[in-house]
C-alpha cells in the first residue's frame, strides 16, 4: 500500500533502517536554498526520484502517477516556477549543485553583489547543498532519477558534445530522451525504443546541474526528459527506466 509521507508544515522525524543496520533520519521540513520539498514514499526501494523545476508540470504529474505504482522515494519541489526565490533574487535550483553553478545562477538576475554578500550566499548554498544531497542520494547501488520537461527548443543534440556514447532513434523526437551517467545502465537503456546518451566523464566547468554532481559522487543517475504536455510519453519512459534498471 502506498505510504505517503508529507514532510512539511510540522516537525517530526521519520526513521528507517538501512542495509548495514545504520539508522537514518529525515528532517522536517526538507529544504534546499530556502525552498521546501515534499517526500512521497512507496514501499522499500533503492530508487529515488526528484522533480526540481516547478514550471514543468507534466514531469510532476508523471512522477506523481509513477510513485503510486512503483516503489521508491520521490522528492517534489514546492514551487510553481522554474526559479526559486532566494534573498533578493531568483535562482535555478538545478544550477546549485556546484559552487561555480551557484555563482552564475546568483548573478544571472542580479549581476552586482557586494563581494562579502556574494561569498556568504555561496557559502550558505554550499552548506545547504551538502545536507540536501545527503537526503536525496540513494544508498549504494541505488539510482537517482530526475524528471524534466522542455518547451524552449532544448533537445538531445545539445547534450551530444558532452556524451561519450549515444543511441539516437530516428523515429523518436529529439526533445524526448534519457541521459545517464553509468555505462551499464546506458547499455540496457539503449536496447529500448528511446533516445539515450551517456555522460560519464567529469568536465572542468559544469553548469551546476544534479547530473554532474551525481557523476562526481559515482551515483547512478538518469534524467528523463520530454516535451511539456507529453504526459503519456513521460509515464511510459519512467516505467521503462524503472523496469529496465531495477
The answer to whether residue 2 sits within a structural domain is: no
Q: Say which CATH number the domain at 133 has.
A: 3.40.630
Could you tell me if 227 and 176 are in contact, meaning their C-beta atoms sit under 8 angstroms apart?
yes
Pairwise CA distance, residues 151 & 155, whole Å: 9
Q: Establish if 98 belongs to a structural domain.
A: yes
Q: Which domain holds residue 31?
A: 14-245
Mean pLDDT of 173-189: 98
Confidence (pTM)? 0.89
Distance CA 200, CA 220 (A): 10
pLDDT band (50, 70, 90) for residue 246: confident
Decide if 82 is inside a domain: yes
Does residue 164 sit within a domain? yes
pLDDT digits (tens, 9 = 90+) for 65-111: 999 999 999 999 999 999 999 999 999 999 999 999 999 999 999 99
Q: Do the domain assignments include residue 5?
A: no
Residue with the three cell numbers 535562482: 91
7 lies in a domain?
no
The pLDDT of residue 27 is 67
89 domain residue, yes or no: yes
pLDDT per residue as tens digits for the range 26-78: 667 899 999 999 999 999 999 999 999 999 999 999 999 999 999 999 999 99
Instruction: Count structural domains, the chain.
Output: 1
Residue 42 lies in a domain: yes
Amino acid at each position: 500500500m502506498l505510504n505517503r509521507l508529507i514532510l512539511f508544515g510540522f516537525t517530526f522525524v521519520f526513521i528507517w533502517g538501512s542495509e548495514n543496520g545504520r539508522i537514518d533520519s529525515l528532517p522536517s521540513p526538507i529544504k534546499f536554498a530556502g525552498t521546501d520539498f515534499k517526500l512521497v514514499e512507496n514501499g522499500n526501494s533503492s530508487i529515488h526520484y526528484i522533480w526540481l523545476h516547478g514550471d514543468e508540470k507534466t514531469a510532476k504529474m508523471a512522477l506523481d502517477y509513477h510513485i503510486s505504482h512503483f516503489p521508491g522515494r520521490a522528492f517534489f519541489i514546492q514551487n510553481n516556477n522554474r526559479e526559486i526565490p532566494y534573498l533578493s533574487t531568483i535562482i535555478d535550483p538545478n544550477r546549485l549543485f556546484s559552487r561555480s553553478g551557484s555563482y552564475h545562477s546568483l548573478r544571472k538576475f542580479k549581476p552586482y553583489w557586494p563581494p562579502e554578500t556574494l561569498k556568504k550566499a555561496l557559502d550558505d548554498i554550499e552548506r545547504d547543498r551538502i545536507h540536501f544531497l545527503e537526503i536525496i542520494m540513494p544508498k549504494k547501488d541505488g539510482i537517482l532519477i530526475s524528471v524534466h520537461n522542455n518547451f524552449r527548443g532544448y533537445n538531445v543534440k545539445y547534450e551530444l558534445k558532452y556524451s561519450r556514447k549515444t543511441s539516437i532513434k530516428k523515429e523518436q523526437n529529439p526533445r524526448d530522451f534519457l541521459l545517464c551517467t553509468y555505462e551499464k545502465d546506458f547499455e540496457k537503456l539503449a536496447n529500448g525504443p528511446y533516445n539515450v546518451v551517456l555522460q560519464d566523464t567529469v568536465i572542468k566547468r559544469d553548469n551546476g546541474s544534479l547530473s554532474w554532481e551525481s557523476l562526481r559522487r559515482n551515483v547512478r543517475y538518469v534524467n528523463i526528459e520530454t516535451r511539456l504536455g507529453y504526459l503519456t510519453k513521460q509515464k511510459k519512459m519512467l516505467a521503462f527506466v524503472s523496469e529496465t534498471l531495477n
